[in-house]
Every structure is written in C-alpha cells, then in structure tokens.
Amino acid sequence: MPQDQANALVINADENILQGWLDLQRMWFDNRNDPTLLKAGVKDWQTRYPQNPGAKMLPTALVNMQNYKPASINKIALFLPLNGQASIFGRTIQQGFEAAKTARRR
C-alpha cells in the first residue's frame, strides 16, 4: 500500500492490530535508509505493540535490516589498465589512489 494511502486510513480505537501494522509500515518508510534508526524504530514498535503478530515474527525485510552490518572499507581492489593504450589513465588513477592513501595516514 502506498504511504499516502496508509496515512489517509481511519482506524477505529479497537483495531489495535491493524494500527500496529500501519505504524510499522510508517516506521519502515521513514527509516528504511538509515539502519540505525530502523533498528531503534523496530525496537520501539515492538515495545508499543507487544501483542501484534509482527512483534514476535518480523517481516523478512525488517529481519534482514536488523542483521545489517556496514561493509568494511579497510581494503579495496582496484583493477586498472597498466599496459596498452589506456595505461596512461590507469597509472594516473593509481598515482591518485596512492597519494590519497599516503595523505590519509598522516
């Protein structure tokens, strides 16, 4: 359901389960690009809706985000043409990377 339709729904006071699902969807839309905020939002949602079926078994997309770990950027691979017609470009890029690596260590 698109976010604008979900926001326009009117929920009766006794429809706590449905309200919980809609709040979970809203939290997902608001925080899906920030894993830290998403994890905190899920924890808060589970506290507010402990009887919701999703509080005990989260949807797969949220489970996957809960297990998210940022990629390590300590090492990278750089494939460059060091021979042939494009070698001038490859060597220039290589020198730039080496200069950045040296500057970072200082």
Q: What band does 11 get if pLDDT is binned at 50, 70 and 90? A: low
Structural domains of the chain, with CATH: 3-66 (1.25.40.650), 71-106 (no CATH)
| pLDDT at residue 38 is higher than 60 | yes
Per-residue model confidence (pLDDT) at position 101:
84
Q: What band does 9 get if pLDDT is binned at 50, 70 and 90? A: low
Whole-angstrom distance, CA of residue 63 vs CA of residue 46: 13
Q: What band does 76 get if pLDDT is binned at 50, 70 and 90? A: confident
Q: Where are the alpha helices (DSSP H) in 1-106?
A: 3-8, 16-31, 35-48, 53-56, 60-66, 87-105
SS3 25: helix
Burial category of 2 from C-beta neighbours within 10 Å (exposed 0-12, middle 13-18, buried 19 and up):
exposed
| pLDDT at residue 94 is higher than 70 | yes
Per-residue model confidence (pLDDT) at position 74:
75
pTM equals: 0.56
**What residue type is 48 in one-letter code?**
R
